[in-house]
């Protein structure tokens, strides 16, 4: 019984030790309304971004367009 209890405690403690996997890249063209953008060569990106339809690009002061592959995590977008 004591060994089983220790095993359960060890299993419950270990999820925080696992590395966090980044979200997968998404393959589709997408527009984002961002607080700031960084237009890199071939790879753009932005901070504080939310997805928007193409019809709403005029309502944003900073628009990021990703053609093809992109990744979004906690409001940060990276185009590939």
Number of domains in the chain: 1
In a domain, 70, yes or no: yes
In a domain, 15, yes or no: no
Distance separating alpha carbons of residues 71 and 80, to the nearest angstrom: 8
Average pLDDT over residues 59-73: 90
Q: What are the pLDDT digits (tens) for 46-65?
A: 999 999 999 999 999 899 99
- In this prediction, residue 39 carries a pLDDT of 67
Q: Is the pLDDT of residue 31 over 90?
A: yes
Q: Which two tokens stand for residue 69?
A: 């592959």
Give the Cβ contact number of residue 42 at 10 Å.
7
Supply the range of the domain harboring residue 65: 24-79
Q: What are the pLDDT digits (tens) for 8-30?
A: 655 555 555 555 565 666 778 89
More confident residue, 55 or 3: 55
In a domain, 56, yes or no: yes
């Amino acid at each position: 019984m004591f060994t089983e209890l220790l095993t359960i405690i060890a299993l419950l403690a270990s999820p925080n030790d696992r590395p966090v996997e980044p979200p997968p890249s998404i393959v589709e063209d997408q527009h984002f309304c961002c607080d700031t953008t960084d237009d890199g060569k071939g790879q753009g990106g932005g901070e504080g971004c939310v997805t928007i339809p193409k019809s709403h690009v005029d309502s944003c002061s900073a628009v990021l367009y990703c053609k093809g592959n992109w990744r979004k995590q906690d409001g940060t977008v990276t185009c590939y």
